Amino acid sequence: MEAQILGMTAIAVSLLIGLGALGTAIGFGILGGKFLEGAARQPEMIPQLQVKMFIVAGLLDAVTMIGVGIALFFTFANPFVG
Amino acid sequence: MHYSTPAALKRPHVYRLLIVQLAVALVLTVISALTQGYGAAQSALLGGLVCLLPNLYFAWRAFRVQGARMARQIITGFYKAEAGKFGLTVALFTIVFITAPPSNPAFFFGAYVAVQLVHWLGPWLVLKRSST
Protein backbone atom coordinates (compact mmCIF):
# COMPACT_ATOMS: atom_id res chain seq x y z
CA MET A 1 0.00 0.00 0.00
CA GLU A 2 2.79 2.40 0.96
CA ALA A 3 4.68 1.69 -2.25
CA GLN A 4 1.54 2.51 -4.23
CA ILE A 5 1.12 5.81 -2.35
CA LEU A 6 4.76 6.70 -3.00
CA GLY A 7 4.41 5.85 -6.68
CA MET A 8 1.28 7.95 -7.07
CA THR A 9 2.95 10.78 -5.16
CA ALA A 10 5.93 10.65 -7.53
CA ILE A 11 3.57 10.95 -10.51
CA ALA A 12 1.73 13.85 -8.84
CA VAL A 13 5.01 15.64 -8.08
CA SER A 14 6.16 15.18 -11.69
CA LEU A 15 2.89 16.60 -12.98
CA LEU A 16 2.96 19.55 -10.55
CA ILE A 17 6.50 20.60 -11.46
CA GLY A 18 6.36 19.67 -15.14
CA LEU A 19 3.02 21.25 -16.00
CA GLY A 20 3.87 24.29 -13.87
CA ALA A 21 7.10 24.79 -15.78
CA LEU A 22 5.27 24.25 -19.09
CA GLY A 23 2.63 26.85 -18.26
CA THR A 24 5.24 29.37 -17.17
CA ALA A 25 7.28 28.72 -20.32
CA ILE A 26 4.26 29.27 -22.59
CA GLY A 27 3.33 32.43 -20.69
CA PHE A 28 6.86 33.78 -20.87
CA GLY A 29 7.05 32.99 -24.57
CA ILE A 30 3.87 34.98 -25.25
CA LEU A 31 5.05 37.77 -22.92
CA GLY A 32 8.43 38.02 -24.64
CA GLY A 33 6.87 38.02 -28.09
CA LYS A 34 4.47 40.82 -27.17
CA PHE A 35 7.34 42.78 -25.62
CA LEU A 36 9.34 42.53 -28.84
CA GLU A 37 6.27 43.59 -30.87
CA GLY A 38 5.76 46.60 -28.63
CA ALA A 39 9.46 47.45 -28.70
CA ALA A 40 9.51 47.30 -32.49
CA ARG A 41 6.49 49.63 -32.74
CA GLN A 42 7.60 52.15 -30.09
CA PRO A 43 11.23 51.77 -28.99
CA GLU A 44 10.89 54.76 -26.65
CA MET A 45 8.40 52.74 -24.58
CA ILE A 46 10.89 49.95 -23.79
CA PRO A 47 11.67 51.06 -20.18
CA GLN A 48 7.95 51.21 -19.31
CA LEU A 49 7.31 47.89 -21.04
CA GLN A 50 10.19 46.33 -19.10
CA VAL A 51 8.65 47.34 -15.76
CA LYS A 52 5.21 46.08 -16.83
CA MET A 53 6.77 42.83 -18.00
CA PHE A 54 8.40 42.41 -14.58
CA ILE A 55 5.00 42.78 -12.87
CA VAL A 56 3.23 40.39 -15.23
CA ALA A 57 6.08 37.88 -14.88
CA GLY A 58 5.59 37.90 -11.10
CA LEU A 59 1.86 37.31 -11.50
CA LEU A 60 2.52 34.63 -14.12
CA ASP A 61 4.71 32.37 -12.04
CA ALA A 62 3.23 32.96 -8.57
CA VAL A 63 0.83 30.02 -8.76
CA THR A 64 3.48 27.83 -10.40
CA MET A 65 5.92 28.51 -7.58
CA ILE A 66 3.27 27.60 -4.99
CA GLY A 67 2.75 24.34 -6.89
CA VAL A 68 6.49 23.68 -6.87
CA GLY A 69 6.54 24.22 -3.10
CA ILE A 70 3.68 21.76 -2.55
CA ALA A 71 5.37 19.23 -4.85
CA LEU A 72 8.64 19.40 -2.93
CA PHE A 73 6.77 19.15 0.37
CA PHE A 74 5.20 15.90 -0.89
CA THR A 75 8.65 14.73 -1.99
CA PHE A 76 10.51 15.29 1.28
CA ALA A 77 7.74 15.06 3.91
CA ASN A 78 4.93 13.07 2.37
CA PRO A 79 1.86 13.56 4.60
CA PHE A 80 0.05 10.56 3.05
CA VAL A 81 2.57 8.05 4.38
CA GLY A 82 2.05 7.31 8.03
CA MET B 1 28.03 58.99 -32.28
CA HIS B 2 27.19 59.48 -28.63
CA TYR B 3 25.70 56.67 -26.56
CA SER B 4 24.30 57.34 -23.12
CA THR B 5 25.91 55.31 -20.38
CA PRO B 6 23.82 52.73 -18.49
CA ALA B 7 24.39 54.72 -15.29
CA ALA B 8 22.40 57.58 -16.79
CA LEU B 9 19.24 55.45 -16.91
CA LYS B 10 16.84 55.79 -14.03
CA ARG B 11 16.26 52.56 -12.15
CA PRO B 12 12.61 51.52 -11.92
CA HIS B 13 10.94 51.28 -8.54
CA VAL B 14 10.63 47.50 -8.42
CA TYR B 15 12.47 47.42 -5.11
CA ARG B 16 9.24 48.58 -3.40
CA LEU B 17 7.70 45.22 -4.19
CA LEU B 18 10.66 43.42 -2.63
CA ILE B 19 10.56 45.61 0.47
CA VAL B 20 6.86 44.86 0.96
CA GLN B 21 7.60 41.14 0.54
CA LEU B 22 10.30 41.36 3.22
CA ALA B 23 7.92 43.28 5.50
CA VAL B 24 5.19 40.65 5.06
CA ALA B 25 7.67 37.88 5.89
CA LEU B 26 8.85 39.68 9.04
CA VAL B 27 5.32 40.51 10.21
CA LEU B 28 4.25 36.89 9.78
CA THR B 29 7.35 35.76 11.67
CA VAL B 30 6.52 38.06 14.59
CA ILE B 31 2.86 36.97 14.60
CA SER B 32 3.95 33.31 14.58
CA ALA B 33 6.39 33.91 17.42
CA LEU B 34 3.73 35.63 19.54
CA THR B 35 1.01 33.08 18.90
CA GLN B 36 2.76 29.72 18.43
CA GLY B 37 6.33 30.12 19.66
CA TYR B 38 9.85 29.79 18.32
CA GLY B 39 9.31 26.77 16.04
CA ALA B 40 6.43 28.36 14.15
CA ALA B 41 8.35 31.64 13.86
CA GLN B 42 11.35 29.83 12.38
CA SER B 43 9.06 28.04 9.91
CA ALA B 44 7.39 31.29 8.86
CA LEU B 45 10.76 33.03 8.44
CA LEU B 46 12.11 30.19 6.32
CA GLY B 47 8.96 30.22 4.17
CA GLY B 48 9.28 33.95 3.60
CA LEU B 49 12.97 33.73 2.74
CA VAL B 50 12.46 30.82 0.33
CA CYS B 51 10.10 33.08 -1.60
CA LEU B 52 12.04 36.33 -1.21
CA LEU B 53 15.53 35.23 -2.27
CA PRO B 54 14.53 33.96 -5.75
CA ASN B 55 12.53 37.17 -6.25
CA LEU B 56 15.60 39.24 -5.38
CA TYR B 57 17.61 37.29 -7.94
CA PHE B 58 14.85 37.75 -10.53
CA ALA B 59 14.66 41.52 -10.01
CA TRP B 60 18.46 41.88 -10.15
CA ARG B 61 18.82 39.74 -13.28
CA ALA B 62 15.81 41.18 -15.13
CA PHE B 63 16.99 44.78 -14.80
CA ARG B 64 20.69 44.24 -15.44
CA VAL B 65 20.15 45.34 -19.04
CA GLN B 66 18.22 48.52 -19.74
CA GLY B 67 17.87 50.90 -22.66
CA ALA B 68 15.86 51.52 -25.78
CA ARG B 69 18.31 49.66 -28.04
CA MET B 70 18.47 46.56 -25.89
CA ALA B 71 15.13 44.82 -26.57
CA ARG B 72 16.60 41.40 -27.41
CA GLN B 73 19.07 41.49 -24.52
CA ILE B 74 16.22 42.45 -22.15
CA ILE B 75 14.18 39.43 -23.32
CA THR B 76 17.17 37.12 -22.94
CA GLY B 77 17.78 38.54 -19.47
CA PHE B 78 14.17 37.90 -18.48
CA TYR B 79 14.29 34.31 -19.71
CA LYS B 80 17.51 33.68 -17.79
CA ALA B 81 16.07 35.39 -14.72
CA GLU B 82 12.95 33.20 -14.78
CA ALA B 83 14.97 30.00 -15.26
CA GLY B 84 17.23 31.02 -12.39
CA LYS B 85 14.27 31.86 -10.17
CA PHE B 86 12.67 28.49 -10.84
CA GLY B 87 15.90 26.60 -10.15
CA LEU B 88 16.67 28.66 -7.07
CA THR B 89 13.19 28.04 -5.65
CA VAL B 90 13.56 24.28 -6.10
CA ALA B 91 17.06 24.37 -4.60
CA LEU B 92 16.00 26.43 -1.56
CA PHE B 93 12.98 24.19 -0.87
CA THR B 94 15.24 21.15 -1.10
CA ILE B 95 17.85 22.68 1.21
CA VAL B 96 15.21 23.65 3.78
CA PHE B 97 13.47 20.27 3.76
CA ILE B 98 16.77 18.35 4.06
CA THR B 99 18.75 20.49 6.50
CA ALA B 100 16.08 22.19 8.64
CA PRO B 101 12.63 20.64 8.12
CA PRO B 102 9.98 23.15 9.21
CA SER B 103 8.43 22.15 12.51
CA ASN B 104 5.18 23.78 11.48
CA PRO B 105 4.50 23.22 7.73
CA ALA B 106 1.29 25.27 7.86
CA PHE B 107 3.18 28.41 8.90
CA PHE B 108 5.98 27.63 6.44
CA PHE B 109 3.62 27.41 3.46
CA GLY B 110 1.38 30.16 4.79
CA ALA B 111 4.29 32.58 4.87
CA TYR B 112 5.53 31.38 1.48
CA VAL B 113 2.13 31.86 -0.17
CA ALA B 114 1.54 35.22 1.55
CA VAL B 115 4.91 36.59 0.36
CA GLN B 116 4.32 35.19 -3.11
CA LEU B 117 0.90 36.82 -3.35
CA VAL B 118 2.42 40.26 -2.74
CA HIS B 119 2.97 40.17 -6.52
CA TRP B 120 -0.76 40.84 -6.85
CA LEU B 121 -0.07 44.28 -5.37
CA GLY B 122 2.63 44.87 -8.02
CA PRO B 123 0.57 47.14 -10.30
CA TRP B 124 -0.25 49.35 -7.33
CA LEU B 125 3.21 49.30 -5.72
CA VAL B 126 5.34 49.72 -8.82
CA LEU B 127 3.24 51.45 -11.46
CA LYS B 128 1.06 53.86 -9.47
CA ARG B 129 3.93 55.35 -7.51
CA SER B 130 6.52 55.13 -10.27
CA SER B 131 7.34 57.98 -12.59
CA THR B 132 8.52 55.54 -15.27
Residue ranges of A 12-71 with Cβ closer than 8 A to chain B: 17, 21, 24, 28, 31-32, 35-36, 39-40, 43-44, 46-48, 50-55, 57-59, 61-62, 64-66, 68-70
What is the pLDDT at residue A47? 86
Q: What is the pLDDT of residues A17-72, one digit of tens each?
A: 999 999 999 999 999 999 999 999 998 888 888 889 999 998 898 889 999 989 98
**Residue of B50, B68, B82 lying closest to A44 (CB–CB):** B68
* ipTM rounded to 2 decimals: 0.84
pTM of the predicted model, to two decimals? 0.85
Go through chain A and tell me how many residues it has. 82
Inter-chain touch A59–B120, beta carbons under 8 Å? yes
Inter-chain touch B127–A55, beta carbons under 8 Å? yes
Domain boundary assignment for chain B: 14-122
What is the pLDDT at residue B71? 84
Q: What is the pLDDT of residues B48-106, one digit of tens each?
A: 999 999 999 999 998 888 777 788 888 999 999 999 999 999 999 999 999 888 888 88
Nearest-10 Cα torsion for B66, B67, B68, B71:
-30
What is the pLDDT at residue B102? 82
Inter-chain touch B97–A72, beta carbons under 8 Å? yes
Cα atoms in the Cβ-side hemisphere of radius 13 Å centred on B20: 16
